[in-house]
């Protein structure tokens, strides 16, 4: 099977160089997505004010949970397609894609319709402030109209990455970001020929960008005749295969729940931090903004390792699996470590961009950064180990490990250690929980029971326990 432009055979070549070449565009896509959110927040805050920001924050919470739902199933599709490409089963990969698109396109449309109708109820459940409710409802309903495109594009980009192509999703994400961030001020304020739509204009910009990027992604797949395109009799693959649906759901649900566990931990932590006063809450909020960027390399490397390991498992190249894992750990430590050091060296300069030089929250934010940021080194190694395990279908143990670390351990430290060390217990809870997660992940990785798992289909020879 010859590789096409942008597509890589992840079972061949130098491991570290192959991993980096595949991972960097994935990291670029994640960075663009976060940057897009930051730019849009700036436009809304400057053009519409605090009530509009509160409104979009509530809508963003809803969208995060829905994207977490899709992420797990998309990761299962990525691994299935990766394994199929590894064993050179292109028809099998197309069957996976057809089933995924045929099933989740209908699910996304149904979720969009239900969400549009239940938007007032959803905002009520979120305890949206009364003054922000009309704006939040206006914004959320337009967002729900673009939901099918956003969810389908997320699933399709992950599927394309499973084939070894991380550049095509990057180009389509770039198109989405340019359209979304560029149209936001035009549609909010009614500049030039555009109507003045207020907060609905921001949501409409996102809607247009999502549908345009999805159309570009589908068009590119067919224009370049990428291996995952479906034609002629293959269009029947859009009729869902029950066995494949069962595999995607059984393996995907735990991975989606991992994202939800992260969200629940963050929400609960905010409740504890809010009790410390406005300055501490503001400082913690800024720290979270910066930590979003610090953790991106770990997430990108973990996803790349998962895809690369899946292809090698499909090709029965077990001798490369441990090498990919070690390479992923090294790359994560180098990239994340560099970011942690740079942030520590320039923390005051960076934090002043958010808080101003005279803010009383500035010193608190510096202290939070000092105590908490190093934990993302441990988090990154854990994500690499999880990426390797889930590439062979082991998804329950990583979920249990993550839940134990983020909920009873992290929240227990944050709540119970406060009488002893004060608010430092809050900031140390994340790195200490990350340390506990890493220890549990290493134990499970070394024991070798994850090697007995599988996604679907016949298993290859077992991976040596000493890997």
The single-letter DSSP state of residue 462 is: P
Give the span between the Cα atoms of 134 and 248, in whole angstroms.
Answer: 38
The single-letter DSSP state of residue 417 is: S
Q: Which of 240, 264, 282 is the last residue of a domain?
A: 240
pLDDT at residue number 113: 94
Residue-level pLDDT, tens digit, the chain, 467 residues: 444 544 567 888 899 999 999 999 988 988 888 788 777 777 777 777 766 766 676 677 677 777 777 888 988 999 999 999 998 999 999 999 999 999 989 999 999 999 899 888 888 776 666 777 788 888 889 989 998 998 899 999 999 999 999 999 999 999 999 999 999 999 999 898 888 988 889 889 999 999 999 999 999 999 999 999 999 999 999 999 999 999 999 888 888 888 888 777 776 776 777 777 777 877 777 787 778 788 888 889 999 999 999 999 888 888 899 999 999 999 999 999 998 898 888 878 877 766 667 778 888 888 888 888 899 999 999 999 999 999 988 889 999 999 999 888 988 998 888 888 888 998 999 899 999 999 999 999 988 678 776 665 434 444 343 33
Among 280, 265, 263, residue whose Cα is nearest residue 411: 265
- If asked whether residues 99 and 218 sit together in one domain, one would say yes
Q: Is the dihedral of CA 144, 66, 177, 340 positive or negative?
A: positive
pLDDT at residue number 5: 47
- If asked whether residues 217 and 135 sit together in one domain, one would say yes
Backbone angles phi, psi at 7, to 5 degrees: -105, 140
234 in Cβ contact with 102 (< 8 Å): no
Among 109, 228, 105, 198, residue whose Cα is nearest residue 155: 105
459 in Cβ contact with 316 (< 8 Å): no
- If asked whether residues 108 and 50 sit together in one domain, one would say yes
Q: What is the dihedral of CA 286, 292, 293, 294, to 10 degrees?
A: 100
- If asked whether residues 272 and 201 sit together in one domain, one would say no
- If asked whether residues 374 and 229 sit together in one domain, one would say no
294 in Cβ contact with 373 (< 8 Å): yes
- If asked whether residues 234 and 287 sit together in one domain, one would say no
Domain count, the chain: 2
pLDDT at residue number 467: 36
pLDDT at residue number 2: 46
Please report how the helices 278-314 and 133-162 are oriented relative to each other, as an axis angle in degrees rounded to 10. Answer: 30
- 167 vs 83, 161, 224, 335, 400, CA distance in Å? 20, 8, 13, 20, 33
Q: Report the 10 Å Cβ neighbour count for 162.
A: 29
**5 assigned to some structural domain:** no
Q: Which of 240, 261, 277 is the last residue of a domain?
A: 240
Q: Which of 177, 206, 240 is the last residue of a domain?
A: 240
Q: Is the dihedral of CA 416, 419, 421, 423 positive or negative?
A: positive
Among 465, 442, 443, 439, residue whose Cα is nearest residue 452: 465
Give the span between the Cα atoms of 226 and 1, in whole angstroms.
Answer: 12
- List 7's β-bridge partners, or say none: 165
- If asked whether residues 186 and 53 sit together in one domain, one would say yes
- If asked whether residues 233 and 258 sit together in one domain, one would say no
- If asked whether residues 214 and 270 sit together in one domain, one would say no
Q: Rg of the chain's alpha carbons, rounded to an integer? A: 22
**218 assigned to some structural domain:** yes
**297 assigned to some structural domain:** yes
Give the span between the Cα atoms of 161 and 150, in whole angstroms.
Answer: 17
- If asked whether residues 430 and 313 sit together in one domain, one would say yes
- If asked whether residues 278 and 228 sit together in one domain, one would say no
Give the span between the Cα atoms of 63 and 381, in whole angstroms.
Answer: 28
Backbone angles phi, psi at 165, to 5 degrees: -110, 105
DSSP states along 166-224: -HHHHHHHHHHHHHHHHHHHHHHHT-TTS---THHHHHHHHHHHHHHHHHHHHHHHHHT
Backbone angles phi, psi at 237, to 5 degrees: -70, -15
**314 assigned to some structural domain:** yes
pLDDT at residue number 370: 87
**202 assigned to some structural domain:** yes
pLDDT at residue number 464: 41
- If asked whether residues 440 and 364 sit together in one domain, one would say yes
**79 assigned to some structural domain:** yes
Q: Which domain holds residue 207?
A: 29-240
**467 assigned to some structural domain:** yes
**413 assigned to some structural domain:** yes
Q: Is 6 left (phi over 0), alpha (psi -120 to 50) or beta?
A: left
């Amino acid at each position: 099977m010859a590789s096409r432009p942008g597509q890589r055979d992840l079972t061949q070549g130098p491991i570290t160089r192959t991993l980096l070449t595949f991972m960097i565009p994935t990291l670029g896509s994640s960075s663009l997505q976060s940057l897009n959110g930051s730019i849009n927040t700036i436009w809304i805050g400057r053009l519409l004010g605090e009530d509009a920001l509160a409104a979009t924050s509530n809508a963003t919470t809803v969208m995060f949970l829905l994207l977490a739902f899709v992420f797990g199933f998309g990761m299962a599709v990525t691994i299935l397609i990766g394994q199929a490409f590894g064993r050179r089963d292109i028809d099998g990969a197309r069957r996976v894609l057809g089933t995924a698109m045929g099933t989740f396109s209908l699910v996304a449309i149904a979720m969009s319709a239900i969400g549009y109708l239940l938007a007032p109820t959803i905002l009520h459940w979120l305890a949206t402030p009364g003054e922000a409710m009309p704006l939040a409802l206006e914004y959320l309903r337009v967002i729900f109209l673009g939901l099918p495109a956003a969810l389908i594009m997320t699933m399709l980009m992950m599927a394309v990455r499973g084939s070894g192509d991380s550049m095509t999703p990057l180009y389509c994400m770039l198109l989405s970001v340019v359209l979304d961030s560029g149209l936001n001020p035009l549609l909010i304020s009614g500049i030039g020929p555009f109507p003045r739509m207020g907060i609905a204009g921001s949501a409409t910009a996102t809607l247009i960008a999502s549908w345009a990027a999805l159309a570009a992604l589908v068009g590119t797949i067919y224009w370049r005749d990428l291996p995952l395109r479906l034609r002629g009799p293959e269009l029947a693959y859009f009729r869902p295969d029950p066995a494949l649906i069962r595999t995607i759901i059984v393996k995907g649900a735990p991975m989606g729940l991992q994202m939800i566990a992260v969200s629940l931990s963050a929400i609960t932590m905010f409740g504890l931090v809010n009790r410390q006063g406005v300055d501490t809450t503001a400082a913690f909020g800024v720290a979270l903004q910066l930590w979003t960027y610090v953790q991106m390399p770990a997430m990108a490397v973990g996803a790349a390792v998962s895809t690369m390991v899946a292809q090698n498992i499909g090709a029965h190249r077990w001798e490369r699996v441990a090498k990919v894992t070690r390479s992923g750990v090294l790359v994560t430590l180098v990239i994340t470590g560099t970011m942690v050091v740079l942030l520590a060296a320039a923390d005051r300069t960076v934090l002043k961009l958010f808080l101003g030089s005279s803010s009383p929250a500035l010193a608190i934010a510096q202290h939070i950064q000092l105590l908490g940021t190093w934990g993302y080194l441990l988090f990154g190694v854990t994500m690499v180990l999880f990426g390797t395990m889930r590439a062979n279908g082991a998804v329950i143990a990583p979920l249990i490990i993550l839940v134990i670390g983020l909920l009873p351990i992290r929240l227990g430290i944050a709540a119970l250690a406060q009488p002893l060390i004060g608010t430092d217990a809050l900031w140390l809870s994340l790195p200490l929980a990350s340390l506990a997660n890493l220890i549990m992940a290493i134990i499970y990785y070394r024991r070798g029971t994850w090697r007995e798992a599988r996604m679907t289909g016949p298993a290859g020879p077992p991976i040596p326990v000493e890997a």
